[in-house]
Amino acid sequence: MTKLVLIAMLTMTSSAFAAEKNKEAVTAPASQELTVGVKGMVCAFCAQGIEKKFMAQKEIEKVTVSLENKFVKLKFKDGQKLSNEKIAELLKDSGYEADFRQ
């Protein structure tokens, strides 16, 4: 009977360990994305300028600009990030205003 209890405990422990290990793999962040509203963007030329401005930043992997919905979606390279202040500054330098309430 002691052997059965020991085997059951080992089985439960290894199952719990495997589940925890899988949980870590699933919850590990791939790359971070941030969506920021853009006030003052009115044309395709505006959207292209914003895309170009952000793609020039070494931290950015991909930029998606929605003229219709007035936002810019930034995908950061692994382990990279831009502060909200830097994002607002880049938009302001281009003539737009950041809206972080998105």
Instruction: Answer for the pair 79, 30: CB distance below 8 angstroms, yes or no.
Output: no
Instruction: Answer for the pair 88, 99: CB distance below 8 angstroms, yes or no.
Output: no
Of 55, 93, 58, the C-alpha closest to 72 is 55
Q: What is the pLDDT of residues 6-35, one digit of tens each?
A: 444 444 444 444 444 444 434 335 559 999
Res. 96: pLDDT tops 90: yes
Average pLDDT over residues 45-72: 96
What are the structure tokens assigned to 38, written together? 């853009």
pTM given for the model: 0.68
Topology (CATH level 3) of domain 33-99 = Alpha-Beta Plaits (3.30.70)
Q: Return the pLDDT at 1.
A: 52
Calculate ∠ Cα 45-50-52, nearest 5°. Answer: 95
What are the structure tokens assigned to 66, written together? 């929605």
